[in-house]
Every structure is written in structure tokens, then in C-alpha cells.
């Protein structure tokens, strides 16, 4: 470090570690201004194992747009350094404080309502997120296990990047084709469906899970995604609607809350395949046309989210209960690791 360089604290994170000898872990970020010549020497210094990459604000924005940042927090830290307001509307929910404490009460989703207490009537009156966790049989202790693994995978970041998410999905058995990812583990899928749906991109799963569009998953977003895609999660009532919203986001390529015709056909083909029905183009088009007619929609028009949910609720579109099911329970995978 250059002599005379001034360090000042920019932010400190205190992160809770459940069921761990150390109750918490800290991460401190400092503000440091250095001269251009010193920055150049540091970049090429042979003794530095991992060479630094210096980027400007515009480059940070481009990396964020391509989900290439380790965490969206980097954009926030850059604005805290410069004192300028955060421009990205999708990052408005990031905590802008200098001391961030991530504790049990701010992490666990409806902990007091999960775990099966209260029976069916209690689950029905719980918040939507708690109902989803109950449908997946997630307890408070299960969330604690998942959070500890979340910290292990992402620290010092507080959000999960697309790269880490993709590796995690691979670890629990998702394959690289749409065919083996959209359906329950072990279901038979024809070559015709593979040809129709094409190759799988983990970006589509990340897009579905990243409900805030911030380019980084919070723990709560990850645990809700995990619960929604669990093989045993019941597909009825409010949990079914939440699952359908994830399914819709998976196919909604431009995130405009509407499915274009090609996206509707992909979804219908996948839904037919789960019911062991033919997925040839003519059969798919007939199903789409019938569904639109029953919903009172104009042929070939985009399908809004509300109409998609109505189609599922009124059984105009069948087969969604088997879509977006993980080949293996993420919770079971984490339990085996620990």
C-alpha cells in the first residue's frame, strides 16, 4: 500500500451463522483512494496471486446487466464511494446502511408459522410464503441448514450470483437440456419435445428465481424457489399459484408479464409431455387455440400472467403440477453435505 494512503470504513456486514461455533462472521469494506500509477503497478504485480480488474461505473452496469457480477452489492458500494444515488431501480431494495446486521429474524421466512404447527387451518391462514414452505414440509431448522450453506457458498456476498446458482442446480441434478429439467425426475420425454424446446439455459431458471430482477438472489428468494421446486411440494391452493408464477417467469423471456405465442407453445408442449401426450406441432397448436377460446382471448395474442393463472385454476391448461420439479431435493442435498 502506498505510504500516506487513507483508509476509511465504507460498510461492515455482520452475518449470523446458525448452529456454528462462531455465532456470526464479519465482512468489512474500506474506501481507499490511490494514484493511477500505483493502480497500474498493483494490477501487474507478480506477487499478487489473483490479478485485479479495475472497472468503471459504466462497466459495472454492463456486468450487472449480463448477470456477471459476484453480487449486485458491488454497484451499491460503488455509489456509496462516489456519493451518487443508485440509478438501477431493481436495486432499490438493497440496504444502503453502513452497518448491516443479517440475523435470524431478518433471514428466516415465517419461521414462527412453519413446521406444521396449527394443522391445516393454521397453514391456510399463514402468509403465502409460509404456506409454500409448509407445502414443502420445510421447518425452521431446515431453513437454518439452508442458510448456513447459503453463507458458505456466497460469503462475503449477501446475494447469490447466477454462476453460483447454476453450479448449485447442477449439483442437485438439473441437466443441460430443457427436457430433463422441466419434468419430474424419471419421467419419459420424447425426442420430439427435445427438438421442440431446444437446449436448456440456466439463465432461464435464474430468471424465474430472481423475482426482484436485481441480478442476485437473497436467501429468502432461494429458499422459496427451493420450496416451490421440491419434488414433494403439493400443487394445490396458494402454493400451486406460487409455483405457477415461477413457471410463468421461466417462459417469460423479456419479463413483460406476457407470454408470446412461441413461449405459450413451448409451455403447452411441456405440459402435454408430462401427461404422456403427443407433442407434435399440430397437437400443441390445437391445445393453445382451445385454451384461448375457453378463456375468451383473441387468437395469437400474448398471454398475460393473470389469464395464465386463470387457465390453470379453471383446468383449461393441465400438466403444470409436474413442471419445474427439481430432480433432487435441495434440502436433502444440503443435509447430506452437513
Report pLDDT digits (tens) over 182-239: 332 233 334 433 333 333 457 888 889 999 888 899 999 999 999 999 999 999 999 9
In percent, how much of the chain has pLDDT > 70? 83
pLDDT band at 178 (very low <50, low <70, confident <90, very high): very low
Higher pLDDT, 28 or 58: 28
Phi, psi values for residue 12, rounded to 5°: -130, 130
Side-chain half-sphere exposure of 119, counting CA atoms within 13 A = 1
CA angle 131-317-136, nearest 5°? 20
109-337 CATH, one of 1.10.150.240, 1.10.238.10, 1.10.10.2120, 1.20.1260.60:
1.10.238.10
Higher pLDDT, 79 or 298: 298
d(CA 247, CA 240) in angstroms, rounded, equals 10
Q: Angle 140-154/219-229 helices, nearest 10 degrees? A: 120
Structural domain spans, the chain: 7-102, 109-337
**Contact present, 96 and 8 (Cβ < 8 Å):** no
pLDDT band at 64 (very low <50, low <70, confident <90, very high): confident
d(CA 226, CA 237) in angstroms, rounded, equals 18
Q: Write down the mean pLDDT value for the chain.
A: 83
Report residue 193 as a C-alpha cell.
419435445
Side-chain half-sphere exposure of 129, counting CA atoms within 13 A = 14
pLDDT digits (tens, 9 = 90+) for 129-175: 999 999 999 999 999 999 999 999 999 999 999 889 988 998 998 87
Average pLDDT of span 28-35 = 87
d(CA 325, CA 67) in angstroms, rounded, equals 24
pLDDT at 26 over 70: yes
Phi, psi values for residue 74, rounded to 5°: -60, -40
Report residue 143 as a C-alpha cell.
431453513
Sheet holding 24-32, edge to edge: 24-32, 7-16, 99-102
Please report the pLDDT score of residue 46 as a whole number: 55
Please report the pLDDT score of residue 44 as a whole number: 58
Give the end-to-end CA distance of the chain in Å, rounded to a whole number. 40
Phi, psi values for residue 30, rounded to 5°: -115, 155
Q: Return all residues near 82 (Cβ < 8 A) that are at least 6 apart.
A: 57
Chain centroid, CA 298 distance in Å: 33
What's this model's pTM, rounded to 2 decimal places? 0.83
d(CA 50, CA 28) in angstroms, rounded, equals 20
Query: Minimum mean pLDDT among 36-40, 99-103, 294-298: which range?
Result: 36-40
pLDDT digits (tens, 9 = 90+) for 71-128: 989 888 888 888 887 777 767 788 888 899 999 999 999 755 544 444 444 455 579 9
Average pLDDT of span 25-35 = 89
Amino acid at each position: 500500500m502506498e505510504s500516506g494512503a487513507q483508509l476509511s470504513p465504507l460498510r461492515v456486514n455482520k452475518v449470523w451463522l446458525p448452529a456454528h461455533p462462531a455465532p456470526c462472521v464479519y465482512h468489512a469494506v474500506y474506501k481507499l483512494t490511490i494514484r493511477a500509477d500505483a493502480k497500474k503497478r498493483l494490477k501487474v504485480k507478480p506477487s499478487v496471486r489473483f490479478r485485479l480488474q479495475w472497472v468503471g461505473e459504466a462497466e459495472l452496469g454492463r456486468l450487472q446487466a449480463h448477470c456477471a457480477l459476484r453480487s449486485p452489492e458491488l454497484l451499491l458500494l460503488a455509489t456509496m464511494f462516489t456519493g451518487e444515488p443508485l440509478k438501477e431501480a431493481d436495486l432499490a431494495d438493497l440496504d444502503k446502511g453502513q452497518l448491516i446486521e443479517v440475523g435470524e429474524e431478518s433471514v428466516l421466512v415465517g419461521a414462527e408459522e412453519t413446521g406444521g404447527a396449527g394443522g391445516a387451518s393454521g397453514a391456510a391462514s399463514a402468509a403465502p410464503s409460509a404456506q409454500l414452505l409448509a407445502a414443502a414440509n420445510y421447518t425452521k431448522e431446515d431453513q437454518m441448514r439452508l442458510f448456513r450453506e447459503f453463507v458458505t457458498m456466497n460469503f462475503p456476498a449477501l446475494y447469490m450470483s447466477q454462476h453460483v446458482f447454476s453450479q448449485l442446480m447442477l449439483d442437485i441434478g438439473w441437466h443441460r437440456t430443457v427436457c430433463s429439467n422441466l419434468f419430474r425426475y424419471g419421467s419419459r420425454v420424447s425426442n420430439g419435445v427435445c427438438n421442440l424446446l431446444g437446449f436448456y439455459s440456466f439463465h432461464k431458471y435464474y430468471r424465474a428465481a430472481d423475482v426482484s430482477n436485481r441480478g442476485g438472489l437473497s436467501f429468502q428468494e432461494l429458499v422459496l424457489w427451493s420450496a416451490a421446486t421440491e419434488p414433494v411440494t403439493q400443487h394445490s391452493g396458494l402454493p400451486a399459484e406460487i409455483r405457477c408464477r415461477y413457471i410463468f417467469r421461466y417462459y417469460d423471456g423479456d419479463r413483460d408479464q406476457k407470454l408470446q405465442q412461441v413461449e405459450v407453445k413451448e409451455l403447452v408442449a411441456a405440459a402435454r409431455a408430462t401427461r404422456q401426450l403427443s407433442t407434435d406441432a399440430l397437437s400443441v397448436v390445437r391445445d393453445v387455440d382451445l385454451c384461448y377460446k375457453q378463456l375468451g382471448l383473441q387468437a395469437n395474442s400474448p398471454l398475460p400472467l393473470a389469464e395464465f393463472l386463470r387457465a390453470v385454476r379453471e383446468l383449461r391448461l393441465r400438466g403444470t403440477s409436474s413442471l419445474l420439479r427439481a430432480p433432487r431435493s435441495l434440502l436433502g442435498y444440503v443435509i447430506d453435505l452437513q
